[in-house]
Chains A and B, each alone.
Chain A
Amino acid sequence: MINSAAREEILQRIRNAKVPAAPQTVRGYNQTGPGGVELFAERVADYRAIVHVVSDVPEALALLKGKRIVAPQGLPAEWLIDGVTWLHEPLTIGELDQADGVLTGCAVAIADTGTIVLDGGEGQGRRALTLLPDYHLCVVRQDQIAASVPEALRRLEPTRPLTFISGPSATSDIELNRVEGVHGPRTLEVLIVT
């Protein structure tokens, strides 16, 4: 099934080009940055996400009361407060589409760019969980905030399925102006825990 003639020909043509070796890459750019909760909060808010800095997560989660919220496996038990209809896996695509929202933790956050990274680990679930519900509430611990992109990548395991999220879904396709809210969750709310 695999076309080995094509493979061999392409590789041979590359070798025939005899491209000279490149100099060693100079990584003179910043490896880190100012970082911190304040910068992260400011940058996330820049992309019209809603941001709260809190010390008590269960108390802050009261904003979910009365809603039907997807709860991925591995969320801390004390986050599953009363008054919320928690939806647990296994969930069908239709059930996810009908949910009011999803609550997750995250793997890493990036202060410089206002980005949250999910890696499918505990309290995050498979990728569809944070995609189909129209509302995503993400809890970020202070110690999860990396200052810069290089710092964040070092903390991640590349072979896990990763999703970098910077604000709610958006498009710049109409006259190159940014408009929030297309196919992904139209509301992103972030709780930063200090």
Chain B
Amino acid sequence: MARNPVTWLGSPTFPKAAREALQDTQLRQNLRKATGTIRGRREAAVAEMTDWEMLRVAGEQIKDDVLARLDTLLVQLEETVTARGGVVHWARDAEEANRIVLDLCRAEQADEVVKVKSMATAEIGLNEALEAGGVRAIETDLAELIVQLGDDRPSHILVPAIHRNRSEIREIFQRRMGIEVSDEPADLAEAARVYLREKFLTTKVAISGANFAVADTGSIVVLESEGNGRMCLTLPDTLITVMGIEKLVPTWQDLEVFLQLLPRSSTAERMNPYTSVWTGVTPGDGPQRFHLVLIDNGRTATLMDSVGRQALRCIRCSACLNVCPVYERTGGKSYGSVYPGPIGAILTPQLVGDMHDPQAASLPYASSLCGACFEVCPVRIDIPSVLTHLRAEVVEAKGRTPESVAMAAAAWIFREASRYEKAQKAGSLARFLARDGKITSLPWPGSRWTSSRDVPAPPAESFRSWWRKNRCQE
């Protein structure tokens, strides 16, 4: 099987990448500013809702229901989309999905396509695959455009160019668009408007992702801000939508939950400026050819894991990135994947599906387990629990190591009270190594601990034995 492009080829493991990123003071400054801003605004937008917790619970339950009935709901979606004039395609992996999209572009004789920001297409490396096939993909979301023109990689789910500040963006635009522009955000937005206008008006094929697909009506939903989505979803003759198989909701009514959860969690708005909903093809309005490409690419493997599968509830809001102390300091690119931050740390290794891959296996450790991500998650993904679960899988994949042997021995000792007490008694002998209540140097393997910190000396008597002498009635 080909490697999953969800991680970037040649990426170092997380600790190595993070160490490098931490040297970049400009990056840390940009991230601190941006995440700080959005954290405050999200909190205010959520505080306004008296029923936020009920919405979160409903969001969690609806998504769990989707995962439980995924086969039935996908078949239902296929029926409803087909009945309204759409064509549904299925792709097992990135390579298959990219081939389907490239063939569709070729059938339309398109050598250029406009794109709405989409995590699914970023995950499968669609732009690179199209380029190799002679089709140029033009990103139209402002942040994606900044990344594309800067020959850069994305570092955030919602705002892929979050690591760039206004003056860096100005420099990229001047260099690549050949224009003079100030570093005022409004002027930069205007420059993007002018740059893309002609493309929107003339390009015949558009490619989008989907925030939601409604199984019982066949409706596809895209939330956006700039109007680039509306341009792509309305003006071209052909629309190709690429969507992960888990992006479903069962009924139209279910959208009432997510249309409240998603905008407040992602951009901290009561509602994002534009949401488009379309069902197959509407004669006389919008693209007259519609293709929906459903991708698996590691999702069914993730579904097999009873703890890890909750990552598939994710609606890609990026609230967990914005509150994560690790993300704020290392930035998104350290994760080596289009899915960075806490959700990336649990989703990416599962989509890769190989804990022997050292880069993917390093991601579940990219966390202090502080739990802020779980607290803000609009669909209540218990990210810390999945992280520890995946860490256990990483350890298991490693097989027998000195650490695992030591841990197995510890487990054997802890299992029996008598064994535990004997071990404690033996351990208390280590106090003879101490000076001033501290042990500063232990023989190997304990030296790996004492080389960087001291160990407090164990007491002469354990609490258990003290209790027996002083408090036990019998």
A contact set with B: CB distance below 8 Å? 2-3, 6-7, 9-11, 13-17, 19-30, 43, 46-47, 93-94, 97, 110, 112-115, 120, 126-128, 131, 149-150, 153-154, 158-185
Q: At the interface, yes or no: B174 with Cβ under 8 Å from chain A?
A: no
Please provide the chain B residues from 287 to 336 with a CB less than 8 Å away from any CB of chain A in the complex.
294, 296, 300-301, 303-304, 309
Provide the residues of chain A in CB contact with B189, threshold 8 Å.
171, 174, 179, 181-182
C-alpha gap A162/B214 in the complex (Å): 14
Q: At the interface, yes or no: B200 with Cβ under 8 Å from chain A?
A: yes
Q: At the interface, yes or no: B473 with Cβ under 8 Å from chain A?
A: no
Flag if B218 contacts A159 (CB, 8 Å): yes
Q: At the interface, yes or no: B230 with Cβ under 8 Å from chain A?
A: yes
C-alpha gap A185/B231 in the complex (Å): 11
| A12: min CB distance to chain B, Å | 8
Provide the residues of chain B in CB contact with A164, threshold 8 Å.
259, 271, 274-277
Chain B at the A interface: SS class: helix
Point out the residue from B90, B161, B275, B279 that lies within 8 Å of A10, measured CB to CB.
B90
Shortest Cβ-Cβ A-B pairs, 7 listed: A184-B227, A183-B227, A13-B300, A182-B226, A164-B275, A22-B64, A173-B143
Q: Mark B36-68, 1 if CB is under 8 A from A, else 0.
A: 011000000000001100110110011011011
B contact set with A: CB distance below 8 Å? 30, 33-35, 37-38, 50-51, 54-55, 57-58, 61-62, 64-65, 67-71, 74-75, 84, 87-92, 96, 100, 140-143, 146, 159, 161-162, 165-166, 169, 185-186, 188-190, 192-193, 196-197, 200-201, 214, 217-219, 225-228, 230-231, 233-235, 245, 252-257, 259-260, 267, 269-279, 282, 284-286, 294, 296, 300-301, 303-304, 309
Flag if B225 contacts A182 (CB, 8 Å): yes
Flag if B37 contacts A176 (CB, 8 Å): yes
Flag if A19 contacts B67 (CB, 8 Å): yes
Flag if B303 contacts A176 (CB, 8 Å): no
Provide the residues of chain B in CB contact with A128, threshold 8 Å.
234-235, 285-286
Flag if A19 contacts B273 (CB, 8 Å): no
C-alpha gap A184/B84 in the complex (Å): 27
| B291: min CB distance to chain A, Å | 10
| A189: min CB distance to chain B, Å | 15
Point out the residue from A115, A161, A174 that lies within 8 Å of B166, measured CB to CB.
A174
Provide the residues of chain A in CB contact with B279, threshold 8 Å.
158-161
Provide the residues of chain B in CB contact with A163, threshold 8 Å.
230, 274-277
Flag if B58 contacts A173 (CB, 8 Å): no
C-alpha gap A47/B225 in the complex (Å): 12
- In the complex, the chain A residue whose C-beta lies closest to that of B80 is A159
Point out the residue from B71, B186, B214, B273 that lies within 8 Å of A158, measured CB to CB.
B214
Flag if A3 contacts B100 (CB, 8 Å): yes
Provide the residues of chain B in CB contact with A168, threshold 8 Å.
273
Flag if A183 contacts B186 (CB, 8 Å): no
C-alpha gap A22/B67 in the complex (Å): 8
C-alpha gap A23/B278 in the complex (Å): 30
C-alpha gap A163/B69 in the complex (Å): 29
C-alpha gap A2/B304 in the complex (Å): 26
Contacts A13-B296, A26-B58, A176-B162 known; 19 new A-B pairs at CB < 8 A: A10-B74, A11-B74, A14-B303, A17-B304, A19-B68, A93-B201, A126-B285, A127-B233, A127-B285, A128-B235, A160-B282, A163-B230, A163-B276, A165-B274, A172-B159, A174-B166, A176-B34, A181-B186, A184-B230
Report if A177-B230 is in contact (Cβ < 8 Å); known contacts: A28-B58, A165-B274, A169-B225: no
Provide the residues of chain B in CB contact with A114, threshold 8 Å.
270-271
C-alpha gap A145/B135 in the complex (Å): 45
C-alpha gap A47/B54 in the complex (Å): 26
Point out the residue from A43, A159, A183 that lies within 8 Å of B200, measured CB to CB.
A183
- Number of A-B residue pairs, CB cutoff 8 Å, is 253
C-alpha gap A11/B294 in the complex (Å): 12
| A30: min CB distance to chain B, Å | 5
Flag if B51 contacts A115 (CB, 8 Å): no
C-alpha gap A150/B55 in the complex (Å): 12
- In the complex, the chain B residue whose C-beta lies closest to that of A120 is B285
- In the complex, the chain A residue whose C-beta lies closest to that of B272 is A166
Provide the residues of chain B in CB contact with A110, threshold 8 Å.
271
Of listed B69, B166, B259, residue having the most chain A CB within 10 A: B259
Report if A10-B142 is in contact (Cβ < 8 Å); known contacts: A26-B58, A153-B255, A177-B37: no
Flag if A131 contacts B276 (CB, 8 Å): no
- In the complex, the chain A residue whose C-beta lies closest to that of B73 is A14
Flag if A6 contacts B92 (CB, 8 Å): yes
Provide the residues of chain B in CB contact with A97, threshold 8 Å.
197, 201
Flag if A182 contacts B193 (CB, 8 Å): yes
C-alpha gap A25/B87 in the complex (Å): 31
Flag if A23 contacts B259 (CB, 8 Å): no
Flag if B303 contacts A17 (CB, 8 Å): yes
Provide the residues of chain B in CB contact with A94, threshold 8 Å.
201
